[in-house]
Structure 1
Amino acid sequence: MKIAVVRESHSETRVALVPEAVAKLVKAGHQVTVERRAGERSDFADDEYAEAGAAVGESGLASADVVVSVNPLDRSRVGLLRRGAATISFLPTGQALEHVAALRAARVTSFSLELVPRISRAQSMDALSSQALVAGYRGAVVASGLMRRFFPQNMTAAGTIQPAQVVVLGAGVAGLQAIATSRRLGAVVKAYDVRAAAAEEIRSMGAKAIELELETLEGSGGYAREMTEDRAAKQRELLTPFITAADVLITTAAVPGRQAPLLVTRSMVETMKAGSVVVDLAAESGGNVEGSSPGEVVQIGRAHVWGGQNVAGQMPGPASSLLAQNIVNLLTLAAGEDGSWAPDFDDEIIAGACVTHDGQIRHEPTRDALAEQGSPSGPAPEKSPSEEPAAEAPADQETAEQETDGADS
């Protein structure tokens, strides 16, 4: 198959395929085109892609069977794709309905990495988990950098400095990595999750599980079930003493495509001691902490609150390497016996991750949301066979847009 890797626009630092992943695909007989400078913000040079066997130059959108990217293609570039081409990227359908409609209208097959089913067979394709791993590590490192004291205990002739007290809320992949990293840095860690199975996972990381006298909330796909406001209020009341005593609070609770649950109110943060630090890894999706702001450090009471923004992208090298392997595994699953692009829509992974195909919206919640919005959700009209993609835009877009490649504060 012909695979195109595009250069991300705006401030995204990650790249969909790294040279090592390109080499695997080329060895398997696929043709890979990498847009010039696609990997530079992840510290992968064009020469490395060329050495891995890729053709480096224009984006190759017009001839590609599959286009892979971190974020959805700009809508202006969707029109460059040929009918029947496919895209693989993160695609938050609930926030990108107009984009989904454009993919449908272009009769492009699109796959959302957020929608890969959370089943054992799909673990190697689970990009949400791989990026959460990076975010959890980054969150703990940011907390240690912002806090103006040691994480580990220090015993000296001048006296003993006690270890930092860290509380982590949420014990999914990001939370467990935040726990593990904080423990490696020498902190004393306590953690809480609404799922019953999480307590044992927390203890396995060397942390103490916070146990509240509340029912557990097990949901499907490894996520927690949504709680009532009464239960949420009771949970916040019971968690307040633990947060008050903490030097560092790290919150990690998020559900793809939905607003993050509010776990910590402003008044709870105001009980924290002077110099304490709060890291809200869910700030981009509404925030677990009231008052947090994506990409900013704000002061609430005596605490500094860091709001995460593209947290995995702040470590673009390892984040891209993990994401690239997720994408390679999905591409391999979708390849036919002869290596051609031949997704089997009877496969639950392929079917579950597909958003649009052959002019239809296959993801039912997205189809329903578009219908509620008043947009057509049925099959798109057939394209004329003679209709050609628009001329391709220049690969180097630096002159057309001003880019900001910074990380969070």
Structure 2
Amino acid sequence: MAGVRIAVLGETAAGEPRVAATPETVKKFAGLGATLAVEAGAGAGAAIADADYAAAGATIGDRASVLKDADILLGVQGPDPASLAGAKPGAWLVAGLNPFGERARVDAYAAAGIEALAMEFMPRITRAQSMDILSSQSNLAGYKAVVDAASIYGRAFPMMMTAAGTVSAARAFIMGVGVAGLQAIATARRLGAQVSATDVRSATKEQIQSLGAKPIFVENVSGIEGEGSGGYATEMSEEYKKAQADLVSSHLAKQDIVITTALIPGRPAPRLISDAQIATMRPGSVIVDLAVEQGGNVEGAVAGEIVEKHGVKIVGFRNVPGRLASDASALFARNLYNFLSAFWDKEKGGPVLPDEDEITQAIRLTKDGKVVNQRLLG
């Protein structure tokens, strides 16, 4: 892959303003000896002008010219395979590819001879932390969820003592304490809310306390650990689910703001809040469902909409990281650069992925015209 050529694709998915490279990462790739071409307008949604890419050393062109002779294609979301016509066989596609939700698209990449590398399959190991798009984007989503809730909520977050009387602090409850949940806790605390949080993984209790929030956990019930491979949550026992539902129901009725973040890779999002539970909350409360695009944690949540049930607003914004497009793009682009540069072979002038490497085996979906990833074949 001598003199590797990297193409930065414009996003065609509806409502996707992010971009997979920034002038910063273009310069870094050029410093490694790569040649870069950016599709015209690719950075517009993230407030990056074509001239900024050109100043960083990239050429600007239409999709066909950018794809021509490119060895590596960078994207945020997986492009329509038909839009990659003209890409050379064996080219790498490095992006968030939603392999479980878009399996037919993965098959099409294989048929086209594209080597598809799914960045969301990055293993949760120490050396891959800087490459983890799920963590970088979830961090921003957790922050933005609280900011969105504060904007929609009709009251103040912090306690305020005024000559006219005292305004009580809002009560915020975070359900799911992964990267997004931890950032949501921290943000709600900064805004002055009284914050509590829960998770199926008992190990998160100390993390919740370390951020100054109150942990809400079921005790002495089997199936409490909930720790799956790679640090993700797993399905819980029926006994635990019932105890959790009872505990959450009593707690939800006292909350003003609820942020739900629970996801299980490859499966629909678990249902955390029922319509009956929503009915116990006081009118004017706000629930933000960060899992709405995977089926939703909240009954009645609608992707892309704010709906009201029992006087409670249920927020289901799509692509929450994309609502902070400039920062989300900067972090996403660094994730991609960190990944490719970690495997860069100076003699060959580009990255080389050893077949036996743990990262390669985790993220490689297709190669030599076949789907090769065990998570898709199993």
Q: Which residue of 2 aligns with 1:346?
A: 356
Distance apart, 1:278 and its partner CA: 0.5
> Which amino acid is 2:26 matched to?
V
Q: Which residue of 2 aligns with 1:8?
A: 11
1:160 aligns with 2:166: yes
2-structure distance, mates of 1:12, 1:87:
18
Which structure 2 residues correspond to residues 51-66 of structure 1 after superposition, within 5 A? 51-59=55-63, 60-66=66-72
1:263 aligns with 2:272: yes
1:206 aligns with 2:209: no
Q: Which residue of 2 aligns with 1:328?
A: 337
Q: Which residue of 2 aligns with 1:231?
A: 240
Distance apart, 1:348 and its partner CA: 0.7
Q: Which residue of 2 aligns with 1:31?
A: 35
2-structure distance, mates of 1:87, 1:98:
16
Q: Which residue of 2 aligns with 1:104?
A: 110
1:357 aligns with 2:377: no
Distance apart, 1:230 and its partner CA: 4.3
SS state at 1:100 partner? helix
| Count of aligned residue pairs for this structure pair | 368
Write out per-residue CA displacement over residues 297-335 of structure 1, whole angstroms, 9 at most, x where no aligned residue.
111112111013111011100000000000001111232
Q: Which moved more, 1:51-60 or 1:236-245?
A: 51-60
Q: Which residue of 1 aligns with 2:321?
A: 312
User: Is the Cα contact below 8 Å between 1:282 and 1:308 reproduced in 2?
Assistant: no
> Which amino acid is 2:360 matched to?
I
Q: Which residue of 2 aligns with 1:249?
A: 258
Q: Which residue of 2 aligns with 1:367?
A: 377
Distance apart, 1:234 and its partner CA: 2.6
1-structure distance, mates of 2:141, 2:134:
10
Which structure 2 residues correspond to residues 107-256 of structure 1 after superposition, within 5 A? 107-213=113-219, 214=221, 215-256=224-265
2-structure distance, mates of 1:103, 1:333:
24
SS state at 2:350 partner? coil
**Distance change >3 Å, CA 272–CA 302, structure 1 → 2:** same
1-structure distance, mates of 2:111, 2:183:
41
Which structure 2 residues correspond to residues 284-323 of structure 1 after superposition, within 5 A? 284-323=293-332
2-structure distance, mates of 1:39, 1:230:
49
1-structure distance, mates of 2:373, 2:294:
21
1-structure distance, mates of 2:49, 2:17:
13
2-structure distance, mates of 1:231, 1:79:
50
User: Is the Cα contact below 8 Å between 1:139 and 1:178 reproduced in 2?
Assistant: yes
SS state at 1:129 partner? helix
1-structure distance, mates of 2:134, 2:201:
19
2-structure distance, mates of 1:71, 1:111:
12
Distance apart, 1:158 and its partner CA: 1.1
User: Is the Cα contact below 8 Å between 2:110 and 2:368 reproduced in 1?
Assistant: yes
Write out per-residue CA displacement over residues 135-191 of structure 1, whole angstroms, 9 at most, x where no aligned residue.
000100011011111000000111111100000001100000011100010101000
SS state at 2:298 partner? coil
TM-score (ref. length: structure 2): 0.95
User: Is the Cα contact below 8 Å between 1:333 and 1:343 reproduced in 2?
Assistant: no
User: Is the Cα contact below 8 Å between 1:334 and 1:350 reproduced in 2?
Assistant: no
**Structure 1 vs Structure 2 CA RMSD:** 1.2
TM-score (ref. length: structure 1): 0.88
Shift >4 Å, 4+ stretches: none
Write out per-residue CA displacement over residues 112-151 of structure 1, whole angstroms, 9 at most, x where no aligned residue.
0111111111101000000000100010001101111100
Give 5+ residue unaligned stretches, structure 1: 369-409
> Which amino acid is 1:294 matched to?
A
2-structure distance, mates of 1:71, 1:257:
17
Sequence identity (%)? 42
User: Is the Cα contact below 8 Å between 2:285 and 2:311 reproduced in 1?
Assistant: yes
2-structure distance, mates of 1:264, 1:352:
33
User: Is the Cα contact below 8 Å between 2:233 and 2:263 reproduced in 1?
Assistant: no
User: Is the Cα contact below 8 Å between 1:78 and 1:102 reproduced in 2?
Assistant: no
Q: Which residue of 2 aligns with 1:384?
A: none
1-structure distance, mates of 2:118, 2:238:
31
Write out per-residue CA displacement over residues 255-310 of structure 1, whole angstroms, 9 at most, x where no aligned residue.
23321111111100110001111110100101111110111111111211101311
2-structure distance, mates of 1:168, 1:285:
18
User: Is the Cα contact below 8 Å between 2:234 and 2:264 reproduced in 1?
Assistant: no
Distance apart, 1:16 and its partner CA: 0.4
Q: Which residue of 2 aligns with 1:393?
A: none
User: Is the Cα contact below 8 Å between 2:306 and 2:317 reproduced in 1?
Assistant: no
**Distance change >3 Å, CA 340–CA 216, structure 1 → 2:** closer
2-structure distance, mates of 1:245, 1:290:
19
